[in-house]
Amino acid sequence: QVHIVESGGGLVQPGGSLRLSCAASGSISRVFSMGWYRQAPGKQRDLVADITSDGRTRYADSVKGRFTISRDNAKNTVYLQMNSLKSEDTAGYYCHAEVVSTASSQTYYWGQGTQVTVSS
């Protein structure tokens, strides 16, 4: 089994900061990319940022310069530091991991999501 657990969401004011964490654990032999997607009500789930095991990153244009993704390979954990938050950032944030599992041929896994609300 593979477990993806997110934490760090909450309510913040515009201009504030928040740091999300996501840990992948369980029957995993390798973790390739990890990242964050977000989905607001009535909208599709879109990439926010992701990072490969060798540190290559990718960001949505809307968050570039404000968000920073990083990871700890030893802990299979990815972080998303979100600064200068805007109301448009309000969404459910979902952790995504591409892994090789020792118990399944499934490759892509999702966390349950953590809510980020930016409001005054």
Judge whether residue 40 has pLDDT over 90: yes
Phi first, then psi: what are they for 115, rounded to 5°? -85, 130
CA 34 centroid distance within chain: 7
Judge whether residue 104 has pLDDT over 90: no
Distance CA 76, CA 119 (A): 32
Average of per-residue pLDDT across 17-30: 95
Share above pLDDT 90 across residues of the chain, in percent, rounded to a whole number: 92
Q: What is the structure's pLDDT at 117?
A: 98
